[in-house]
Amino acid sequence: MRRFATDERCFSSDLGHSAHLVSSSGAAASSAMGSTQSPPLTFDSINPKVLKCEYAVRGEIVSHAQRLQQELQTKPGSYPFDEILYCNIGNPQSLGQQPVTFFREVLALCDHPSILDKSEAHALFSSDAIARARQILDLIPGRATGAYSHSQGIKGLRDAIAAGIAARDGFPANADDIFLTDGASPAVHMMMQLLIRSEKDGILCPIPQYPLYSASIALHGGSLVPYYLDEAAGWGLEISVVKKQLEDARSKGIAVRAIVVINPGNPTGQVLAEGNQREIVQFCKKEGLVLLADEVYQENIYVENKKFNSFKKIARSMGYGEKDLSLVSFQSVSKGYYGECGKRGGYMEITGFSADVREQIYKLASVNLCSNISGQILASLVMNTPKVGDESYESFTAEKNGILSSLARRAKALEDAFNSLEGVTCNKAEGAMYLFPRLHLPQKAIEAANAVNAAPDAFYARRLLDATGIVVVPGSGFGQVPGTWHFRCTILPQENKIPAIIARLKAFHESFLGEFRD
């Protein structure tokens, strides 16, 4: 109490001093009213970390696409296409994917629980959706989905997620290790806040990479330490390359704190082999690195000879426990077969951190109060889907398999189309939601791009958009080997639209080469 009183007196004294300053400067302020003043915030006075941050997935190409979309609405027929196809971002439902029925039934019942007491409920909803909604509501204090929750997320939902992780991996999981977040992105930012102290702290990051990582590293003032994936080897991750980059960074005084591994890859679509994952785990243990495992595409596997293995499963199978490896695994309801991007649900599982560090992670989570409750419910559902014998099991399985098999066919059709284009090569999409074809552009096209101060792949993407309405992201936004050019294209347009998209791509590409051929 004495300390508070002292602080209060200082505060009062400061207030009095401030009042005097305001009074004595009042005349000067009044006389200055007529003069021209700079705005309190200008481009030049913005935090330079914000200016350094870039997020190509929603960058200049997308802004231009949105302008074209408005013009199409106000002036139909003004372009040689009638719609904008947003192939720039993994946003399945915006391109026509339907929500999974079971998930939406449970959400509807949780958000409007009075329906559960109506006689019509069993005619409108499956019995297991009704049972799951009742179970979830019993976990929520006051059954209030509009109220704040525990900062890590509702305990019972974290229990359900931990059970789902344990069933997936075959190793125990603990609800206290789960932090529910509004999608995976806030969890990534939280870890960057925790890890980065200054520009002398580095994060190893794959190139190409999802721009969330470069953006968050820039925002928090750290240094991105790149390790290049091997395009010729199907975007393989070579530990020798990573080790060389680590040693080079350390020689420059950079304290490398963590490594980001995206599996399945974004934008590159590769699925790591189990042996490769073991090498990565051993490397992190030996070098004392936090392993940041982006595993949001764990359901999106399209090849028979690969399967998803979480890094936690790999580490535990190698005999490594909590004291051997610091690991953060990210998951999201936005990807997979669910595609619930707008619901903003996700989580991170943190293992291998001391109690005092975990307290600081909890503090960061508390600053944001909690993640949204619908997203929390969805995260628990995607990790605990209907089981054999449940009323929804057969329809749920049919929906899930239908979406994933269609994505696999779309990936193959687009891969074949890109590889049929002159001067384009494209690796197989083993997983995730994207293809990342390489453009071997004519010198005249590169010179034309330079003339308008654009990266050559951005120049190509802009011309593609203006001619076809198809939005892709230039590879320069993800990082690439210098002197190479790519773009990222989602596989998400509905299957019946893929042939027309391919035809438009081919016609544009032939025209582009005809204009710029050396």
SS3 for 257?
strand
Question: Which residues touch 54 (CB under 8 Å, ≥6 apart)?
Answer: 211, 214, 215, 218, 477
* Among 437, 52, 56, 51, CA closest to 211: 56
Q: Is the pLDDT of residue 323 over 50?
A: yes
Higher pLDDT, 2 or 281: 281
**What residue ranges do the domains of the chain occupy?**
50-96+395-516, 147-383
Dihedral sign for Cα 232, 237, 243, 248, please.
positive
Give me the mean pLDDT over the 353-366 stretch.
Answer: 89
Most confident of 24-33, 45-54, 236-245: 236-245
Paired tokens of 149? 């929750």
Give me the mean pLDDT over the 41-52 stretch.
Answer: 78
Note the pLDDT tens digit of each residue in 409-451: 999 999 999 999 999 999 999 999 999 999 999 999 999 999 9
- CATH class of the domain defined by 147-383: alpha beta
Note the pLDDT tens digit of each residue in 175-224: 999 999 988 889 999 999 999 999 999 999 999 988 889 888 988 989 99
Classified by CATH at the fold level, domain 50-96+395-516 comes out as Aspartate Aminotransferase, domain 1 (3.90.1150)
Rounded Cα distance between 404 and 92, Å, is 12
Q: Give the pLDDT band of residue 146 (cuts 50, 70, 90).
A: confident
Q: Is the pLDDT of residue 28 over 60?
A: no
Q: Is the pLDDT of residue 51 over 50?
A: yes
Q: Specify the pLDDT at position 53.
A: 62
Cα distances (angstroms) measured from residue 352 to each of 316, 328, 342, 472, 494:
12, 9, 31, 39, 42
Pick from 43-57, 136-150, 275-289, 304-318: least confident: 43-57
Rounded Cα distance between 157 and 184, Å, is 17
Note the pLDDT tens digit of each residue in 364-396: 888 888 888 899 999 999 999 999 999 999 999
